[in-house]
Amino acid sequence: MPKRMSYWPSALSAVLFVGLAQVASAQTAPPSGASPQRVLVAMDPADEGSGLLSIMVANTPLPRLLGAPVTVLPLRDLRDAMRATRTGENDAIVAPAHVIASALAYGYELVAHTGGEERYVLVASGGAKTVADLKGRNAYFPHEDSLRTYVGRGLLNQGGLSVRALKQVSYQQSSIGGLMSLGGRYDVTVALEQEWSKWAAANPQRAQALATSRPLPAGFGVVVRRDTSPAFKRAIVQWVTTTDNVVPGAPRFRATSDARPYEYVASLGIVTPEELQGVKRVGAREALELAQRGAKLVDVRTEREFKTKRARGAINVPYGEKSLKEPDFDATVDSFAGLAKLGKGEPLVFLCNGAECWKSYKASKWARNAGYTNVYWLRGGMPEWVALGLPTEP
């Protein structure tokens, strides 16, 4: 039986999160001229136990262990956490499994984990017998970027169905409300296997599990950038493994470099398609050659990301993404006003943060549909550009 971690109510989690922000701010003011190292602590807003990490951070002297200034950054926006795994802007990340899996693909290495594993199930009522039967049904998923939803969407995709094939998907803050809603407004949800087993025993024949994930790492993982110093890595491991937990049931970390359990998590990732009809996909070197011949490198990331590091000569035309990460995304909820300033006949190379970033895919498709005739898509984006050592600025 997979090990499940015990958690406190989410109301306390929210209070503790505020406390972490206050402690981090007071704890990490760097000496004059010093540049603090950054540690991101990402918490799933749909996870009732996420606030326990707040206690762990608030009660540990990481700057003293390292002997240098450290900025601890609490974050409850997992979309932003996933973005940050691709930019390398943080020296260490503490986060749920899907964020850790993404970081491992972009220059980080695993140093610790809370241990244990868990499975998730895709559950449906209304007589559905296969994933394909869910077409046109209503689904209840937790927060769009939570681990449960990440796995739920992955199970749908593995069953040959996209989220867009559902009639409606409601993203809610509660991680356990889906089972309680089955048979009413909603027909589909995702749940921990243990939750499902208990609920099914109390509610026989009301629903059935259509797909079950393989075991996923439970709790939280800790990664550091591969190019950080050995001293920093040692300090991070000491920090998470020797923390005095002041609340019973708080997660306990153990040092490990075995990242194999995260390979399956990564396989569930919702990455962009390999190709986009009517748009030419290019690699980073080809994009550079196009730019040298006069094409515009159009970086559709946020202004903050663009100013931090960009391909030399690129321009910033941010893509406002609110639609789901699907090939048939609903462009009407997105914004891309800056496209109108670009010539419809000039060569345009769209890029963002790699295969897991959908902004450049959506921007390329938007441009194609708007009548732009010379559109290129750098699917590998900035990660590929940087990995090949191509020129960047500032």
pLDDT in tens, 332-355: 999 999 999 999 999 999 999 988
pLDDT at 22 over 70: no
pLDDT at 250 over 50: yes
**What is the helix (H) or strand (E) element at residue 259, kind and residue range?**
none
Phi (first) and psi of residue 164, to 5 degrees: -65, -20
| Cα angle value 297/302/304 (rounded, 5°) | 105
Could you tell me the CA-to-CA distances from 100 to 2, 263, 268, 311 in Å, in that order?
20, 10, 13, 26
Tokens representing 194 are 């243990």
pLDDT at 223 over 70: yes
Considering the domain architecture, whether residues 101 and 142 belong to the same structural domain is answered as no
pLDDT at 21 over 70: no
pLDDT at 119 over 90: yes
Write down the pLDDT at residue 140: 93
The number of angstroms, rounded, from the C-alpha of 289 to the middle of its chain's C-alpha atoms is 32
Considering the domain architecture, whether residues 107 and 221 belong to the same structural domain is answered as yes
- Of 237, 267, 297, the residue at which a domain comes to its end is 267
Task: Examine residue 180 and state whether it is found in any structural domain, yes or no.
Answer: yes
How sure is the predictor about 104, in pLDDT bands with cuts at 50, 70 and 90?
Answer: very high
pLDDT at 136 over 90: yes
- What is the separation, in whole angstroms, between the first and last Cα of the chain? 51
Write down the pLDDT at residue 297: 98
Considering the domain architecture, whether residues 86 and 178 belong to the same structural domain is answered as no
pLDDT at 385 over 70: yes
Considering the domain architecture, whether residues 191 and 161 belong to the same structural domain is answered as yes
pLDDT at 14 over 60: no
Write down the pLDDT at residue 161: 80
Average pLDDT over residues 222-232: 95
Average pLDDT over residues 218-245: 87
Q: Summarize pLDDT for 24-82 with one digit per residue, the tens.
A: 433 444 444 557 899 998 888 776 555 555 555 555 567 778 888 888 888 888 888 98
Task: Examine residue 284 and state whether it is found in any structural domain, yes or no.
Answer: yes
Do the bridges between strand 120-124 and strand 188-192 make them parallel or antiparallel, or are there none, so unpaired?
antiparallel
CB of 195 within 8 A of CB of 2?
no
| Cα angle value 100/103/106 (rounded, 5°) | 160
Task: Examine residue 389 and state whether it is found in any structural domain, yes or no.
Answer: yes
pLDDT at 226 over 70: yes
% of the chain with per-residue pLDDT over 70: 85
Q: Is the peptide bond before 394 cis (omega within 30 degrees of 0)?
A: yes
Rounded Cα–Cα distance for residues 117 and 3 (Å) = 6
How sure is the predictor about 249, in pLDDT bands with cuts at 50, 70 and 90?
Answer: low
Considering the domain architecture, whether residues 379 and 331 belong to the same structural domain is answered as yes
Average pLDDT over residues 261-287: 88
Write down the pLDDT at residue 189: 94
Considering the domain architecture, whether residues 231 and 130 belong to the same structural domain is answered as no
pLDDT at 248 over 60: no
CB of 168 within 8 A of CB of 186?
no
- Higher per-residue confidence, 77 vs 2: 77
pLDDT at 280 over 80: yes
Considering the domain architecture, whether residues 205 and 231 belong to the same structural domain is answered as no
| Cα angle value 74/121/94 (rounded, 5°) | 20
Other CB atoms within a 10 A radius of the CB of residue 132 amount to: 12
* Domain harbouring 202, CATH code: 3.40.190.10
Write down the pLDDT at residue 79: 85
DSSP string, 334-384: SB-GGGGGS-SSS-EEEE-SSTT--HHHHHHHHHHHTT-SSEEEETTHHHH
Task: Examine residue 272 and state whether it is found in any structural domain, yes or no.
Answer: no
Considering the domain architecture, whether residues 185 and 302 belong to the same structural domain is answered as no
Rounded Cα–Cα distance for residues 358 and 332 (Å) = 15
Considering the domain architecture, whether residues 301 and 257 belong to the same structural domain is answered as no
Write down the pLDDT at residue 181: 87
| C-alpha closest to that of 125 among 201, 209, 212 | 209
Considering the domain architecture, whether residues 100 and 230 belong to the same structural domain is answered as yes
CB of 95 within 8 A of CB of 103?
yes
Write down the pLDDT at residue 324: 79
* Domain harbouring 386, CATH code: 3.40.250.10
| C-alpha closest to that of 52 among 22, 86, 19, 90 | 19
Tokens representing 341 are 């300033």
DSSP E strands, the chain: 37-42, 70-75, 92-95, 108-113, 117-118, 120-124, 138-142, 168-172, 188-192, 208-212, 216-217, 221-225, 254-255, 280-282, 296-299, 310-311, 315-316, 348-351, 375-378, 392-393
Domain limits at 196?
120-213
| C-alpha closest to that of 329 among 144, 177, 155 | 144
Q: Summarize pLDDT for 297-331 with one digit per residue, the tens.
A: 999 999 989 999 999 999 999 999 988 787 878 89
Average pLDDT over residues 196-219: 92
pTM summary value: 0.71
Task: Examine residue 3 and state whether it is found in any structural domain, yes or no.
Answer: no
Write down the pLDDT at residue 287: 98
Average pLDDT over residues 185-213: 92
Question: What is the number of domains present in the chain?
Answer: 3
Task: Report the mean per-residue pLDDT for the chain.
Answer: 84
Considering the domain architecture, whether residues 110 and 245 belong to the same structural domain is answered as yes
Task: Examine residue 274 and state whether it is found in any structural domain, yes or no.
Answer: no
- Of 195, 213, 231, the residue at which a domain comes to its end is 213
Q: Summarize pLDDT for 140-188 with one digit per residue, the tens.
A: 998 888 889 889 988 887 787 878 889 988 888 777 788 988 888 899 9
Write down the pLDDT at residue 48: 56
* 156 Cβ contact partners less than 8 Å away, ≥ 6 residues apart: 122, 131, 134, 162, 163
Other CB atoms within a 10 A radius of the CB of residue 322 amount to: 11
Considering the domain architecture, whether residues 16 and 109 belong to the same structural domain is answered as yes
Write down the pLDDT at residue 266: 84
Residue 130 per-residue DSSP state: S
Tell me the Cα Rg of the chain.
22
